[in-house]
Structure 1
């Protein structure tokens, strides 16, 4: 698979990233190398090799997912450090515009 600057521009647009020409060239070369390496892996003879699902004999340990309650002073500290706020909430930039073409 050939990776071109247009491919990288398309992925950047989907990811909401912007690259200058130098970065486009760099990422085009790097992504091309990664894809070529993956292509080489598809040529490896794995006939007779047992499938591996997990290489470490250990259960994954998760912590209990429970919310931490904010005390008033922590919220005030948080809000004092945000760049934009509106009506007591943190204001973030629009990521997906419904009017935009895909």
Structure 2
């Protein structure tokens, strides 16, 4: 990968690299791409894809309805309620 490409990607991702960091990233990226090419060259003809190896599939229990608090009971001890829901301060920009 060219240094200019790395600098451009870093810029649009709001990252900063030193020249040494760019060199190291370029080297690591090239090594990673070489490994990907090696993996792509492996002959997998006739081999079934493996998604998982345990044979266990969806071992979760069935959903069961249980009695729970009513909306009124859940909200009875709060001062911050609005339209039947908890009213909290905004904490995410």
| TM, length-normalised to structure 1 | 0.50
| Distance change in 2, residues 1:60/1:26 (3 Å) | farther
| Distance change in 2, residues 1:42/1:19 (3 Å) | same
Match of 2:38 among 35, 40, 52: 40
Q: Which runs of 5+ in 2 are unaligned?
A: 61-88
Q: In structure 2, what is the equivalent of residue 18 of structure 1?
A: 16
How do residues 59-98 of structure 1 correspond to structure 2 at under 5 angstroms? 59=58
Deviation at 1:9, TM superposition (A): 1.4
Q: In structure 2, what is the equivalent of residue 4 of structure 1?
A: 2
Match of 1:29 among 27, 30, 33: 27
Give the Cα–Cα distance (whole angstroms) in 1 for the partners of residues 12 and 54 of structure 2: 35
After TM superposition, the runs of 4+ consecutive aligned structure 1 residues lying more than 3 A away are: 55-61, 88-92
Larger Rg, first or second structure (1 or 2): 2
The CA RMSD measured in Å over matched residues stands at 2.5
Q: Which runs of 5+ in 1 are unaligned?
A: 62-87, 93-102
Number of residue-to-residue matches in the alignment: 64
